[in-house]
Amino acid sequence: MCGIAGYIGPREAVAVVLDQLGRLEYRGYDSAGVAFADGSGITVLKRAGKLACLRELIDRNHTHSHLAVSHSRWATHGAPTDANAHPHFDAKQRIAVIHNGIIENYFELADALIEKGHTFRSETDTEVAAHVIGEEYDECGELVEAVRRAVRRLRGAFAMVVICVDEPDKLVAVRNASPLIIGIGENENFLASDIPALLPYTRDIIVMDEGDLAVITRDEIYLEDAESRPKLPIREHIDWDIEDAEKGGFDHFMLKEIHEQPHAIRQCLSGRLLKDGSVALPDTFSPEEWRSFKRFIIVACGTAYHAGLLGKYLIEGTLRLPVEVQYASEFRYNNPILMEDDLLIAVSQSGETADTLAALRLGKEQGIRTLGVLNVVGSSIARECDAVLYTQAGPEICVASTKAYSAQFATLALIALHVGHLMGADREKLGTLTSALQRMPELLEDCLKLEDEVKSIAEAIQNTSLIFFLGRGADAAAALEGALKMKEIAYVPTQESPAGEMKHGPLALVVPGVVTVFGATNPTTRDKVISNIKEVKARGGTAVGLVLESDPLTAGIVDHPIRLPHADSHTVAAAASVLPLQLLAYHMARLRGCDIDQPRNLAKSVTVE
Ligand code: G6P
């Protein structure tokens, strides 16, 4: 979850790694630091707070160097203080280390080191790892070997980058369950925990594999596996545009990414949903294999979990094939009953979420086949799945996921169509879904036009202390995502449940001033939803309604209607209704003065449990 950057070459190294870090700040942002070699030694500068605090500190120091590493932290061990910020030194201050992940045996290691006379300046597991490397360096006198030996003593998940005062011509990096990507330059090389940090400098990358150790100099990249066997680096080319990873005139990444959704869905469908309505999902499973699956189990976290829930409605409705959706964090500990003709689908934007990765591994251990629905190419989950369908939504930077949601849903819809054709599912249903999906980009464009309306609703309800998000069927699944956005960005407490459950308890919370957002995109349950709206209004609650343009009746009952364009499929309409909910959360957050792209306590890529 922390951001890691490294550079070696002729440029001003500290400036490069700081720029890289700025592009990774969404990964973690409670403190930050740099270490650089300056001829006489290694200097470490670090600060609690946002990157701006570190920038100030750096501006006041002389930082001329050809080699630097930098780190932005999302605290796990120890509060976000200057002392706990990375990099950390070994006992003799010759070696500096930055680290993403958790060293699980750090207590034992620290105890043993304390007995030998070591003292620590921070409360972090990373400093313990730095001391272990230093101890090994005392023994063998060579950085790469010291790192190799130290790694054998460390347990847990870590991506780590190490520099040494006596060997200022190299960065040594190890990857164990946390991503690290090497950027290849001309007479210079880069390192980062995520691709956006490399885009201004290079598109040629090497994704380090689990257990890999890399030695990076100006003009050479040496790679070895966990058994210390040299291996040939596999070079990949990334074709993301740099503009994709920048704000492009929008005030926030979140707003930009909300607006990118029509394009993201076009990209997602491109080459897959063909003009004649057929679906091509090459490099996944053979038609026989696809037909052999008797159940899909979707595992995911956060927004990806909600996309999975909506996908369930679509897949079950289209194929009559059972779909289970489970929180990855629960699945892994619930001793799940898996059967050989199950397909486990791991849905994840980053492809790095620790719980989703662990759930995937559990499925693999039990011998079931696995598919990743992922956004980030070459991510950890991508490397371990039997097959991958990329959502092709482009980089998502804001912590709160928006375009990834729509693209995950569209990818699950493609699966429904593909399997539907292979299984000979109801043609009419397939035709309806095909046309709804083909039109989904325009549908989202029409939803974007609702922004002014949504903004004025945000103004009207900005001071509310509680918002209910309700719906039935697919609208209930969409409600969960609307509520999550509101919580994480605008910090408004929410209650989300199927509308029919209100009278079984939650209704007790409705008093004048409480806001209720109803999803009412399904004509077959509309009358029931109208009754639920009336129950809320009778108790003085304010009702916002996501209603179809063609439904003036419901629009007339709610206080604030958001009139949604028509979609051929009710589930696609529910998916599109999330866009105005994203905008509602965004404008509420703005009005309430929240830090939209970097909400408190959260991080984008959750690589710890
Ligand atoms: C974090 C992010 C969420 C995201 C979730 C799952 O909590 O803040 O926005 O939905 O992780 O992430 P993934 O990368 O697996 O989709």
pLDDT of residue 599: 86
Q: Which atom of ligand 1 is nearest to the CA of 356?
A: 15
CB 29 within 8 A of CB 18: no
CB 3 within 8 A of CB 129: no
Mutate to test the pocket of ligand 1, among 29, 305, 310, 349 (most ligand atoms within 8 A of CB): 349
Question: CA nearest 1: which of 37, 35, 25?
Answer: 25
In the sheet that holds 67-73, the strands lie side by side as: 42-48, 31-37, 67-73, 3-8, 189-192, 181-184, 204-207, 236-237
User: How far, in Å, from the CA of 602 to the mean position of ligand 1?
Assistant: 10
In this structure, the residue with its CA closest to atom 7 of ligand 1 is: 302
Distance, CA of 414 to CA of 394 (rounded, Å) = 18
User: How far, in Å, from the CA of 93 to the mean position of ligand 1?
Assistant: 37
Distance, CA of 137 to CA of 155 (rounded, Å) = 19
pLDDT of residue 80: 79
pLDDT of residue 240: 72
Question: What's the mean pLDDT in 102-112?
Answer: 89
Distance, CA of 109 to CA of 295 (rounded, Å) = 45
Helix then strand then coil, % of the chain, to nearest 5? 40, 20, 35
63 lines ligand 1 (CB under 6 A): no
Band (pLDDT 50/70/90 cuts) for residue 101 is confident
436 lines ligand 1 (CB under 6 A): no
Q: Which atom of ligand 1 is nearest to the CA of 404?
A: 16
pTM of the model: 0.77
In this structure, the residue with its CA closest to atom 2 of ligand 1 is: 604
379 lines ligand 1 (CB under 6 A): no
Mutate to test the pocket of ligand 1, among 401, 595, 605 (most ligand atoms within 8 A of CB): 401
pLDDT tens profile 375-408:
987 788 998 999 999 998 888 889 899 999 999 9
Active site residues: 2, 604
pLDDT tens profile 484-509:
999 999 999 999 989 888 889 888 88
179 lines ligand 1 (CB under 6 A): no
pLDDT of 242 higher than 70:
no
Distance, CA of 33 to CA of 86 (rounded, Å) = 5
Distance, CA of 407 to CA of 600 (rounded, Å) = 26
Structure tokens at 543: 């009702």
Q: What is the mean pLDDT of the chain?
A: 92
pLDDT of residue 146: 98
pLDDT tens profile 454-464:
999 999 999 99
pLDDT tens profile 285-298:
999 999 999 999 99
Task: Determine the longest span between alpha carbons in the chain, in angstroms.
Answer: 79
Distance, CA of 253 to CA of 399 (rounded, Å) = 9
Distance, CA of 124 to CA of 192 (rounded, Å) = 21
582 lines ligand 1 (CB under 6 A): no
Question: What's the mean pLDDT in 96-116?
Answer: 91
345 lines ligand 1 (CB under 6 A): no
CB 512 within 8 A of CB 540: yes
Region of 460 on the Ramachandran plot (φ > 0 left; ψ -120 to 50 alpha; else beta): alpha
pLDDT of 28 higher than 60:
no
User: How far, in Å, from the CA of 415 to the mean position of ligand 1?
Assistant: 22
CB 532 within 8 A of CB 501: no
User: How far, in Å, from the CA of 590 to the mean position of ligand 1?
Assistant: 22
Structure tokens at 529: 């939803």
pLDDT tens profile 49-85:
888 899 999 888 887 899 999 998 877 667 778 888 9
The gap from C-alpha 339 to its chain's centroid, in whole angstroms, comes to 29
Distance, CA of 229 to CA of 323 (rounded, Å) = 43
Residue 327 burial (C-beta neighbours within 10 Å; 0-12, 13-18, 19+): middle
Query: Which amino acid, 155?
Result: R
Distance, CA of 372 to CA of 360 (rounded, Å) = 9
In this structure, the residue with its CA closest to atom 3 of ligand 1 is: 302
Got the DSSP string for 290-314?
HHH--EEEEEE-HHHHHHHHHHHHH
User: How far, in Å, from the CA of 302 to the mean position of ligand 1?
Assistant: 5
pLDDT tens profile 440-449:
999 999 999 9
- 576-602 burial, b at 16+ Cβ within 10 Å, e below that, comes to bbbbbbbbbbbbbbbeeebebbbbeeb
Mutate to test the pocket of ligand 1, among 253, 298, 301 (most ligand atoms within 8 A of CB): 301
User: How far, in Å, from the CA of 458 to the mean position of ligand 1?
Assistant: 25
DSSP E strands, 185-248:
189-192, 204-207, 213-216, 221-224, 230-231, 236-237
Band (pLDDT 50/70/90 cuts) for residue 221 is very high
pLDDT tens profile 341-381:
999 999 999 999 999 999 999 999 999 999 999 998 778 89
CB 349 within 8 A of CB 363: no
pLDDT of 608 higher than 70:
no
